[in-house]
Structures are given as structure tokens and as C-alpha cells.
Amino acid sequence: MKRSRHANSIRVPKADTELIQIVDAALAEAARKSGDWLACRPGCTQCCVGVFAINQLDAARLRRGMADLKKAEPQRAAAIQQRARESIRRLAGDFPGDGQTGILDDSEEAQALFANLGDDEVCPVLDPVTGWCELYEARPMTCRVFGPPVRSGSNDEDGLGVCELCYHGATDAEIAACEMKPDPDDLERALLRKVETASGTRGETIVAFCVAG
């Protein structure tokens, strides 16, 4: 399977560790505020079903995670690669982008097609037996912030999105009080620019193309 010539050469910026620490700390604080309203637990996999877009910083982090796993547990890594390749084959006919590199088209038509792509497709990184993420430490930002209330845009007027399994019985005010602000200084944007500049690759992709090998 052909890959972008940059796919295996992208390096994760050192400051990505700082970004992850900031986001994880924000998640921990949101979880503390949320208490029993936050239903997210190990083995809860609803958010692992359905294809979603990730940026090139996420992609680089996933590839590094896969490289580490190949060295430590090659059989587990091979199983992930097999699931990813099978996922790519299932999605190939309707994939709104480059079927070789995995880069999504950013046109309005393509975005509309992507919205309905693979709603039942399970993330290839999810262990089908245990229900655990096999690349948890390298997971994309979307996965890291899913669950607690996160504002859909940068303005206070933008709505708060929450997992449908969480915050049952909470009022709008109680939900707002648990809001997660994952990256207040927009560090991710700066790191993404570094990755895109270094690799020459821009645009979003999906998890399967990052871990298929």
C-alpha cells in the first residue's frame, strides 16, 4: 500500500509533551468537577466507533506510538496494522480524499461526504477483546478531550459539546461549570505548523492511514 513519502519521517515536536501535559491536566480538573456525571471509564468505547478527522500533529504522534509498539510488542502492532488495512479497504469506495496518502479533501462537498463516512467503523487501535485503546498514550487530541464539556468554537457564545452518555440530570449551568479548556494558549496550532512545515504534508487524515504501516 502506497504511503506519502513523508509518512514515516515526521518527527513529533518536543513541545508536544508539554501540550499533552496541559490537556491531560485540564481533563483531570474537568473530571474532578464533574464527579459522577462523567461516565467515561476504561472499556467505554462508544467514542471509538465512527471515523473522525485528525491533524498532522496527531498523525505524527500516532506513528511514533506505533513505532514504539512495534519494538516492544510486534504482534500487537501487527494486529493493529491488519485492522487498519481492513478498515481502509472498507472505506475506500466512499473515501473523500486521496486513497493512497489518506489526506482528506477540504472541499465542502468532500466534507459533507465525510460526515456520513463509516459511522459504524470501529477505530483500528481499539482492542476488540479488552475494549482498551492500544495506543492510549499516543491518542489524538479529539480522543483526549472527549467526554467533558468542550466549547465548539473560540467564542463564549459557542455551544458546549458533551458526550451523550454523560451529565444526565445536570443543569446547563452545572454542565458549564465543568467546562474543559484543553489548550488555552493554542499551543497545538503552533506545533501543527511545525509538523506541516517539516513534512511538507498538510491536511487532515484518519487514524487508519496512520497505523496501517
The cell numbers describing 191, all together, are 506545533
Mind listing the pLDDT tens digit for each residue in 18-63?
Answer: 999 999 999 999 999 999 999 888 888 989 999 999 999 999 999 9
HSE-CB at 68 with a 13 A cutoff on CA atoms is 11
* Contact status, residue 80 vs residue 199, Cβ threshold 8 Å: no
The H or E element that residue 150 is part of is strand 150-151
Q: How far apart are the first and last CA of the chain?
A: 8
**Distance of alpha carbon 200 from alpha carbon 151, whole angstroms:** 30
Give the pLDDT of residue 159. Answer: 76
Give the pLDDT of residue 49. Answer: 94
- Better pLDDT: 17 or 3: 17
**3-state SS, one letter per residue, for 86-148:** HHHHHHHHHCCECCCCCCECCCHHHHHHHCCCCCCCECCCECCCCCCECCHHHCCHHHHHCCC
**Distance of alpha carbon 128 from alpha carbon 88, whole angstroms:** 17
Cα 63 versus chain centre, distance: 13
Give yes or no for residue 137 having a pLDDT over 90. yes
Give the pLDDT of residue 156. Answer: 58
Closest CA to 192 of 16, 22, 24: 16
